[in-house]
Amino acid sequence: MTRILVVDDEPAIARTLRINLASRGYDVQLAGDGRSALSACEEELPDLVVLDLGLPDIDGVQVLARLRERCAVPVVVLSARHDSDDKVEALDLGADDYVTKPFGMDEFMARLRAALRRGGADQTEALPPVETPDFVLDLRERRATLADGTRVNLTPTEWRLVGALAKRRGSLVPRAELLHEVWGPGYGRESNYLRVYANQLRRKLEPVPSEPRYLLTEPGLGYRLVV
- pLDDT for 70 equals 72
- pLDDT for 12 equals 93
Check whether 126 has a pLDDT greater than 70.
no
| Buried residues in 23-40 as b, exposed as e (16+ CB within 10 A) | eeebebbbbbbbebbbeb
- pLDDT for 120 equals 53
- pLDDT for 108 equals 92
pLDDT in tens, 167-218: 888 999 999 888 877 876 667 778 888 999 999 999 999 999 999 999 999 9
Check whether 62 has a pLDDT greater than 50.
yes
Give the confidence band of 80 by pLDDT, cuts at 50, 70, 90: confident
More confident site: 209 or 126? 209
- CA proximity to 187, closest of 175, 198, 196: 175
Mean of per-residue pLDDT scores for the chain: 88
Residues 6+ apart with CB under 8 A from 39: none
- pLDDT for 58 equals 92
Percent of the chain, pLDDT > 90?
Answer: 52
- pLDDT for 121 equals 45
**Average pLDDT for residues 83-98, to the nearest whole number?**
85
More confident site: 175 or 160? 175
DSSP 188: S
Alpha-carbon distance of 101 to 78, in angstroms, equals 7
**Average pLDDT for residues 135-147, to the nearest whole number?**
90
- pLDDT for 119 equals 64
**Average pLDDT for residues 62-88, to the nearest whole number?**
84
Alpha-carbon distance of 119 to 96, in angstroms, equals 9
